Amino acid sequence: MTDLIPPWPLFSTFLLAGLVLAITPGPGVLYIVTRSLVQGRLSGLASVAGVALGNLGNVLAAAVGLAALFAVSALAFSVVKYAGALYLVYLGLQMLRSSPVDNLAAMPAALPFWRIFRDGFVVALLNPKTTVFFAAFLPQFLDPGISIPLQCVTLGSLFVMIAAITDSGYALAASAVAPVLRGGVLRHAGRKFGGGMFIGLGIFTALLTGPRKAVE
List pLDDT tens digits, range 8-64.
888 988 898 788 778 877 788 888 988 888 888 999 999 999 999 999 998 888 788
The top-scoring range by mean pLDDT among 134-138, 142-146, 200-204 is: 142-146
The top-scoring range by mean pLDDT among 29-33, 79-83, 101-105, 109-113 is: 29-33
List pLDDT tens digits, range 159-189.
999 999 999 999 999 888 876 655 444 445 5
Indicate if the pLDDT at residue 155 is higher than 80.
yes
List pLDDT tens digits, range 91-100.
778 767 765 4
Q: Yes or no: say if 158 and 17 are a contact pair by the CB < 8 Å rule.
A: no
Phi-psi region of 148 (alpha: psi -120 to 50; beta: other; left: phi over 0): alpha
pTM, full prediction: 0.74
Q: What is the pLDDT of residue 190?
A: 53
**Quick one: which of 80, 46, 95 has its CA closest to 198?**
95
**Quick one: which of 154, 81, 158 has its CA closest to 123?**
81
Q: Give CA–CA dist 26/89, Å, rounded.
A: 15
Q: What is the pLDDT of residue 50?
A: 97
Selected residue with higher pLDDT from 127 and 115: 115
Confidence of residue 209 (pLDDT cuts 50, 70, 90): very low
CB atoms within 10 A of CB 41: 16
CB within 8 Å of 76: residues ≥ 6 apart: 69, 70
Please report the sign of the dihedral spanned by the C-alpha atoms of residue 197, residue 43, residue 26, residue 78: negative
**Amino acid identity at 114:** W
The DSSP annotation for 6-45 comes to --HHHHHHHHHHHHHHHHS--HHHHHHHHHHHHH-HHHHH
Q: Give CA–CA dist 89/111, Å, rounded.
A: 17
Q: What is the pLDDT of residue 49?
A: 97
What ranges do the domains of the chain cover?
A: 32-214
Selected residue with higher pLDDT from 119 and 70: 119
